[in-house]
Amino acid sequence: MQTHALEGGFTDAPIDAARAFRGLMTAMARPGTICDVSGATPPAPLGAAAGTAILTLCDPDTPIYLGTAFDTQDVRDWITFQTGAPFVPPAQAMFAVGGWDDLPLCEFAIGTAEYPDRSATVVVEMPDLTSLGATLSGPGIKDTASLSLPDTAAFQRNAALFPLGLDFIFTCANRLAALPRTTRVR
């Protein structure tokens, strides 16, 4: 393990994790809202928001899948040291991180009728994240919201699976937005 894996975690873990968790929960409760989060300085190609999400939501009991472009030794070492999360194939992942084209969405767990919460949360690192694009509606959204999504049809299919389905977090630099499975996309 290289020494860089020992760096880039939360400086003041309890405070940084609490702030990051609040940002993540705000984004999840208000789909389409773009929140600034900070605290992590992960190795490339992970951005600050994706690294912060990993530090906040992953631990040794959170199996994680890395998309092809993100599956580097530096990223693996950093996640292992910072969280202890094990790396698994897509079907076993509770958490996945990658670029849109790196993620095999059809292979991730979408939950079961008895346990819909046993689905994966997918972090998609985006080249840009804006409040323009697809129109969102549903719980947590007054009237409508807009968000730049990589593929509107994929999110429409995901929402149709409710109460099953994937939850998404989109990241770019130190910003993130969420799209839970309850959100309707047009």
Q: Span 94-102, mean pLDDT?
A: 97
Q: Is residue 60 part of a domain?
A: yes
Report the number of distinct structural domains present in the chain.
1
Percentages helix, strand, coil for the chain (3-state, rounded to 5) are 35, 20, 45
76-106 burial: b if 16+ Cβ within 10 Å, else e: bbbbbbbbebeebebeebbbbbbbbebbebe
Q: What is the CATH number of the domain that holds 73?
A: 3.40.50.11310
Q: Is residue 184 part of a domain?
A: no
pLDDT band at 11 (very low <50, low <70, confident <90, very high): confident
Cα angle 175, 102, 18 (rounded to 5 degrees) comes to 30
Of residues 182 and 4, which shows the higher confidence score? 182
pLDDT band at 4 (very low <50, low <70, confident <90, very high): low
C-alpha to C-alpha distance for 14 and 5, rounded to whole angstroms: 20
pLDDT in tens, 162-173: 999 999 999 999
Q: Is residue 86 part of a domain?
A: yes
Q: Report whether 142 contacts 116 (CB < 8 A).
A: no
pLDDT band at 20 (very low <50, low <70, confident <90, very high): very high
Q: Is residue 186 part of a domain?
A: no
Q: Which domain holds residue 24?
A: 3-178
Q: Span 148-159, mean pLDDT?
A: 96
Q: Is residue 185 part of a domain?
A: no
Q: Is residue 143 part of a domain?
A: yes
Q: Span 107-125, mean pLDDT?
A: 97
pLDDT band at 3 (very low <50, low <70, confident <90, very high): low
